[in-house]
Amino acid sequence: MSLDRYTKSLKILIEEEELKKRCGLLGREITERYQGKDLVAVGVLKGVFPFYADLIRDINLPLRCDFIGVSSYGSRTETGGVVRLTSDLAQPVNGCHVLIVEDIVDTGLTMRYLLDMMKMKGAESVKICSLLSKPSRRLTPVTIHFPGFEVEDHFVVGYGLDYKERLRNLKYIGYYPDGPPDLTEA
């Protein structure tokens, strides 16, 4: 299967260099904000892994890394509105400052679920760092304390974001102007 089949109608939205530059700025801002605090960076799987890896390398603190898995999309391209936990944290976060690191905040439902969960787990504070935000799709209000980029309501892929579990490996973020391609054809 050719990569071109997936990318021929893709338009670049955010170039690789812009992503790296923004990670550096966010990393410095987070470093300043959490000086002297017990920080746990919680990455939301799967889409966050490229952003998370780049971001934490730009945070100059002795932070702990952990991951959590949630799903609200399944194999669909639209959220079903129900968030389910697919894998929990490996370490407790009670008394810690938690930074939830996410690839994209869309409806806000997943973030609301995670914010409530971290508070129930006893986190001293919970903040959000998200690479992308789609405020036009928000169903529940959430504050992104460390925002990357605000994007229009496009179906975005690349740099961790997927289309049918593919294209996470692109070094840039792109979108399909006419929606994702129908890949059922030969």
Domain count, the chain: 1
Give the pLDDT confidence of 65-85 residue by residue, as tens digits.
999 999 875 444 555 567 888
CA distance 151 to 172: 14
For the entire predicted model, the pTM comes to: 0.91
Q: State the pLDDT at residue 4.
A: 86
User: 149: domain range?
Assistant: 16-153
Residue 174 lies in a domain: no
Contact 119, 150 (CB under 8 A): no
Residue 74 lies in a domain: yes
Residue 167 lies in a domain: no
Residue 171 lies in a domain: no
Give the pLDDT confidence of 153-185 residue by residue, as tens digits.
999 999 999 998 999 999 999 999 988 877 665
The pLDDT mean for the chain works out to: 92
Catalytic residue among 66, 106, 162, 178: 106
SS3 for 57-101, per residue? Answer: HCCCCCCEEEEEEEECCCCCCCCCCCCEEEECCCCCCCCCEEEEE
Q: Is 66 a catalytic residue?
A: no
Residue 9 lies in a domain: no
What's the CATH code of the domain at 56?
A: 3.40.50.2020
Residue 96 lies in a domain: yes
Residue 26 lies in a domain: yes
